[in-house]
């Protein structure tokens, strides 16, 4: 029982990370129908930038996290303008461009920071919280809290602001949105900015707990993709449920089988759910779905 509780908290923590990655990908997909396979390197960039900001600029971890998110929002806008806007209909070339970006970013990180992983020490990783017989780092709860806060902020933004309404309108019907005077280019920029900032937040939060390495974004990317398919592509609640579900399933599965097959369980669950609901848990069924 104690072990189960421990794995559920650990799983919720990793799930929160997957949610931050998946939310960004689902926003980009929902608004622009683009699958950004390079989303993992934005996560990785978040880890490195946070490290640089803490060590060389601010000395304060919370301030560094905010600066990281701002910087990544700018990077996201540049990516949208420079690369993805021109690849909206060409899925294969989205994959090629994403891979090019991954190669550039991961090897760029090796050039700038060296191939070995960095360790960023922040106070919240060393202070522990006791829950009964178990103890977790404060960082565990910061991560879960930050994900929940991001979800709430995103919902408020989408439901209560004019810009959020413009984003939802563009996602539902781009032509009609343009007809009523919504600047779709502005919406696309905004989407990429928010999505990149969320990925950067994930990297900045997980970096101190694990290590900061050029490949640190690969796994969150894979799990984020799984989460958005599991939840239903284009569905924000789906990405949230999918992300947390994957984190908890993979953590709890290690109680029953060896960690070698942890990912196997996740992918098997994905395929099993799509067999029953080919449009995902919260996705919208369209014509032609079996």
Q: Which residues bind other proteins (CB under 8 A)?
A: 29, 35, 83, 86-87, 90-97, 99-105, 107-108, 110-111, 115, 222, 225-226, 228-229, 233, 260-261, 263-264, 267-268, 270-271, 274-275, 278-280, 286, 288-290
54 DSSP assignment:
I
CB 194 within 8 A of CB 73: yes
What 3-state DSSP class applies to 212? strand
* CA–CA separation, 115 and 202 (whole Å): 21
Nearer to other proteins, 139 or 226 (CB): 226
Who's near 45: CB < 8 A, 6+ residues apart? 72, 75, 105, 109, 200, 203
Nearer to other proteins, 104 or 153 (CB): 104
* CA–CA separation, 136 and 124 (whole Å): 11
Ordered DSSP codes for 98-145: HHHHHHHHHHHHHHHH-SSPB----HHHHSEEEETTEEEEHHHHHHHH
Distance in Å, CB of 285 to other proteins, minimum:
10
Residue 171 main-chain phi, psi, to 5 deg: -65, -35
Residues 8-21 as b or e (16 or more Cβ within 10 Å = b): ebbbbbbbbbbbbb
* CA–CA separation, 226 and 136 (whole Å): 27
Distance in Å, CB of 178 to other proteins, minimum:
24
Nearer to other proteins, 185 or 267 (CB): 267
Distance in Å, CB of 196 to other proteins, minimum:
17
Nearer to other proteins, 5 or 268 (CB): 268
Nearer to other proteins, 15 or 283 (CB): 283
Nearer to other proteins, 175 or 260 (CB): 260
* CA–CA separation, 288 and 24 (whole Å): 27
Look at the alpha carbons of 176, 178, 181, 186 in this order and tell me if their dihedral is positive or negative.
positive
Nearer to other proteins, 153 or 284 (CB): 284
């Amino acid at each position: 029982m104690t072990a189960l509780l421990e794995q559920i908290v650990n799983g919720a923590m990793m799930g929160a990370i997957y949610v931050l990655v998946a939310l960004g990908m689902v926003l980009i997909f929902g608004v622009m129908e683009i699958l950004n396979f390079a989303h993992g390197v934005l996560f990785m960039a978040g880890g490195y930038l946070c490290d640089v900001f803490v060590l060389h600029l601010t000395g304060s971890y919370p301030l560094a996290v905010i600066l990281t998110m701002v910087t990544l929002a700018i990077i996201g806008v540049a990516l949208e303008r420079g690369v993805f806007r021109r690849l909206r209909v060409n899925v294969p070339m989205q994959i090629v461009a994403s891979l090019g970006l991954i190669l550039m970013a991961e090897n760029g990180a090796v050039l700038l920071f060296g191939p070995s992983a960095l360790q960023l020490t922040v106070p919240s990783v060393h202070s522990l919280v006791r829950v009964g017989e178990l103890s977790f780092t404060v960082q565990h709860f910061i991560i879960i809290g930050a994900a929940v806060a991001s979800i709430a902020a995103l919902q408020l933004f989408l439901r209560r602001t004019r810009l959020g309404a413009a984003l939802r309108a563009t996602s539902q019907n781009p032509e009609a949105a343009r007809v009523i005077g919504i600047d779709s280019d502005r919406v696309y920029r905004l989407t990429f900015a928010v999505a990149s900032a969320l990925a950067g937040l994930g990297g900045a939060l997980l970096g101190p707990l694990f290590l900061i390495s050029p490949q640190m974004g690969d796994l969150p990317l894979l799990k984020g993709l799984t989460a958005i398919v599991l939840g239903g592509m284009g569905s924000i609640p789906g990405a949230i449920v999918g992300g947390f579900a994957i984190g908890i399933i993979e953590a709890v599965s290690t109680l029953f089988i060896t960690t070698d097959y942890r990912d196997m369980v996740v992918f098997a669950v994905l395929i099993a759910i799509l067999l029953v609901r080919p449009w995902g848990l919260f996705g919208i069924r369209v014509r032609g779905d079996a």
